[in-house]
Amino acid sequence: MMGRYNTFVGYFKQKYGCRLQKIVIDAGFTCPNRDGSKGLGGCTYCNNDAFHPSYSTPDKSIAQQIEEGIEFHRGRYRNCNDFLAYFQPYSNTYASLDVLKNLYEQALNHPQVRGIVIGTRPDCVDEEKLDYLASLAKDRIVIIEYGIESCYDSTLERINRHHTFEQAVRAVEQTHRRGIQCGAHFILGLPGESREMMLKGVDLINTLAIDSLKFHQLQFVKGTAMEREHDETPSDFVHFGLEEYIDFFIDILERLRPDFYIERFAGEVPPRFVRSTPWGLIRNTELLHLLDARLEERDTFQGKLYIKH
């Protein structure tokens, strides 16, 4: 552990010797809780336009999105020449294997793309797709990022996910068994979950055979079912102020397995997509500085309270 917690950026630099910047790709996927195969409307908090950059739109070819993404990131990371194609919006394994091969290999054919990151749901993978991704991972970087969101089936049902935590465990195990790098995404503050429930969920997260973790605080995006639910029953939600959230995340970090890499601990939605910005217009880099400072103040670190079972 380089600092007080394992950073994913540090992991990439250590393993591959350079910074690898993700370029978001919108390949036009949908989700089974959106198209009617399992449900309609999608996740109650979701508006994907709020979560990916303007260069990433499905009307553009994958090659064009990559070129525009490289240009977009050159302003911030001038020395970055190696990229990962990040298939992010919606469920990016939710298609036939032939379709997936065509899309992924378009991205991998770009000379500056070292590998792919695939955001998907745990119920949208199968043995055949994972076998194919394992074959790619022999000489390219392949990371699957599962949106798990909660450890509690009651929450997953309430937010219209239409999968279970057990399905997530099974997908993660199948992925890990094939040697594919694997991450998981969780949201803190979902309806019906108390602070105690979220902390208790860490014990379940610690059992997952994953490499990296992303956490986001719940944000109320305009026009979503979640926004309406919050208006109707605000008492069902834990509301975090900025300093309170940082302290709560540190409580989680202390309980997490020390070998996990932390890719993100909070999210930022562009202000035009939300009704209010209770934390102000704070950027991710500032959040990281605040987290580091608070870890120093508390003299604590990832895994300090972890108990191996």
Write the pLDDT tens digit of every residue in 195-253.
999 999 999 999 999 999 999 999 999 999 999 999 999 999 999 999 999 999 999 99
Q: Is 115 a residue whose pLDDT tops 90?
A: yes
Write the pLDDT tens digit of every residue in 258-290.
999 999 999 888 888 888 888 888 888 899 999
pTM of the model: 0.95
Closest CA to 149 of 43, 302, 288: 43
Write the pLDDT tens digit of every residue in 121-174.
999 999 999 999 999 999 999 999 999 999 999 999 999 999 999 999 999 999
Write the pLDDT tens digit of every residue in 1-24.
668 999 988 777 777 777 788 999
Q: What is the pLDDT of residue 18?
A: 76
Right CATH for 8-298 from 3.90.600.10, 3.30.420.40, 3.80.30.30, 2.40.50.90? 3.80.30.30
Neighbours of 226 (CB within 10 A): 23
Q: Which residues contact 152 (CB under 8 A, 6 or more apart)?
A: 165, 193, 197, 201
Average pLDDT over residues 75-93: 88
